[in-house]
A and B are shown apart, each in its own frame.
Chain A
């Protein structure tokens, strides 16, 4: 019995020790911020932007994320739990376009405005589900893909020919799909000779992207370029191509995350269409504050993107570069 008591006390201490986040000051309004995962630098940068935006706007934030960007049901549960704290606004980055809908609907009923952070929700589906989104903010993912294609054609010329590989995101995720679609459409328009031989889901996973690249190189040893729907996958594809001795294959990612910037600076990764997550995070807080104050806010806000290459980074002239973290 004594032993059991000791163990009980120990476990209480454990739980207390884990409760690293204490109570916050009560009078400032608190916004709930739900992210996908913090183990990707992209979301880390967005988190910093949100925190900076909150500081500027004079609000508290209550930030939560789930363990991976595939933990769909845990995210719904975290969202429901967040509502228990009755935040003034909900800023959410949904893992896919449907998982959070029941929670967001409840937020609507509680008159808590909802921000779709990084455009993870499909307006057609939210409308069908009767969920009202106050602000969509993020990057235009189709435009980002198109920008990647535009840059590639700029490098190779309009008459270039050869096979191109596209690695999409997680199956069913609208962000990855849009980037891939935007890239494919623009490539077809500008340089029809560049032929997309495969467009496969890499599940945001660098290892999977590396394997896909390896497999494709077996079939298409003359591969010209790889476009990946995020930087993690681009870095995986890059390693695969380079270790196979394919130094000429152009690899393009999307996001502009820390690792990609490092790789670009080192002259390895060719380009990344930077999404400026820091700016997205910052503006999401500012916009929802405006919406709460009754000011008019654009329902769809697109934060600009920027094609990062070694030249652009070395020149260090573009004002948007300050938001590349």
Chain B
């Protein structure tokens, strides 16, 4: 009796802690399969420099997707990440290029701009009780607009060299953005799967009423989640600007959709309750590999969009098949 009386919610936490750590095999299978196919079709695919090239291409939207994983796990959505990316990059470029401030202020400026914009999202979602879809859709326009106003629509060239190193440097031959992506993923994985913050985020996504009843401070959590997504968008903006040594007000157009796609490909449930950072990383890599392979084969970009859409549907379908055969009641 006593052992059976464990509250259901607690049991599902445990499941989640274990489940969150596990990589979804369907996504991994799709990734491996894609790599095999691409390696067969293009001789240039399987080389160290091309694999680093894929990771480099994945780094900016991979960081965005990691933030998105947290928000979607909690049954939220953040459509403003691409615009926050542009705004943060522009702010970072202005601080170091136009105002000649030191590099660390530029980096902090990017991150702070992202976090602050994300916090505004979070406050509007909780205090004003506006649905996140609408808040972040609004912010998509506002942040992009501010980026265009600040920069007068023109890219701001010439960041501090230390910032540029973050985008173009190659410590031990590995592009710096790749290292940033992997470190971010490692930390985010630990936070989402093994800390109370991460578990609460998924509990809110699973059942907000129950989470409240359990004493989770839902409002505070949500503000933190959107702030985190904003912060990571700021980091992605920093990487983007550093990669090309310039703050672009038009950077990251429609990246919110790319980030959502990578997140869903990785097995995070679009309606909340289940999220995996490792899965998201795999999802982002699926898109990176697909794009790279198709580019290597000089497939026209129109077909590439079809391929990415098809793989998304395929991966979610695999998930469905597996769930209906497997553990789901």
Contact = CB atoms under 8 A, between A and B. Distances in A.
Interface residues on chain A, size class: 35 or more
Given A15-B34, A80-B53, A65 B301 contact: yes
A74 B294 contact: no
Nearest to A67: B301
Interface string A77-105: 11011101100000000001111011000
Contact of A101 (B38, B244, B253, B300): B244
B245 A96 contact: no
B47 interface: yes
B295 A78 contact: yes
A29 to B, nearest CB: 16
Contacts of B29: 4, 8
Contacts of B157: 97-98, 125, 128-129
A94 to B, nearest CB: 11
Nearest to A20: B299
Contacts of B303: 18, 20
Contacts of B151: 172
A171 interface: yes
A128 to B, nearest CB: 7
A67 B248 contact: no
Contact of B305 (A21, A67, A78, A129): A67
A74 B291 contact: yes
A4 B245 contact: no
Contacts of B297: 19, 21
Interface in B153-192: 153-155, 157-158, 167-168
Contacts of A37: 301
Interface in A1-44: 3-4, 7-8, 10-12, 14-16, 18-21, 37-39
B105 interface: no
Given A77-B292, A128-B157, A96 B248 contact: yes
A53 interface: no
B57 A72 contact: no
B154 A172 contact: yes
Given A4-B318, A16-B41, A84-B50, A172 B295 contact: no
B57 A77 contact: yes
B321 A4 contact: yes
Given A21-B298, A98-B244, A84 B305 contact: no
Nearest to A14: B310
A16 B249 CA distance: 37
Interface string B137-162: 00000000000100101110110000
Interface in B256-315: 290-307, 310-311, 314
Nearest to A100: B244
Contacts of B12: none
B251 interface: yes
Q: Which secondary structure characterizes the binding site on chain B?
A: helix
B244 A84 contact: no
A16 to B, nearest CB: 7
A70 interface: yes
Q: Of residues A15, A71, A97, A125, which shows the largest number of chain B Cβ atoms within 10 Å of its Cβ? A: A15
Contact of B244 (A82, A99, A171): A99
A195 interface: no
Contacts of A7: 314, 317-318, 321
A325 to B, nearest CB: 19
A15 B37 contact: yes
A297 B12 CA distance: 70
Contact of B155 (A65, A74, A98): A98
A73 B53 contact: no
Interface in B228-267: 240, 243-246, 248-253
Nearest to A37: B301
A134 interface: no
B56 interface: yes
A102 B168 contact: yes
A254 interface: no
A151 interface: no
Nearest to B314: A11
Contact of A64 (B158, B245, B293, B295): B295
A6 to B, nearest CB: 10
A302 interface: no
Nearest to A98: B246
B58 to A, nearest CB: 9
B155 A97 contact: yes
B41 A11 contact: no
B49 A4 contact: no
Contacts of B310: 14
B49 A84 contact: yes
A12 B250 contact: no
A253 B41 CA distance: 43
A124 to B, nearest CB: 9
A12 B29 CA distance: 12
B108 interface: no
Question: Which A-B residue pairs are the 9 nearest by beta carbons?
Answer: A171-B153, A77-B57, A98-B246, A81-B295, A67-B301, A21-B298, A15-B37, A172-B154, A84-B44
Given A11-B30, A171-B154, 14 more contacts: A3-B321, A4-B26, A7-B321, A10-B314, A12-B36, A16-B37, A67-B305, A74-B291, A76-B243, A102-B167, A128-B158, A171-B148, A172-B154, A201-B153
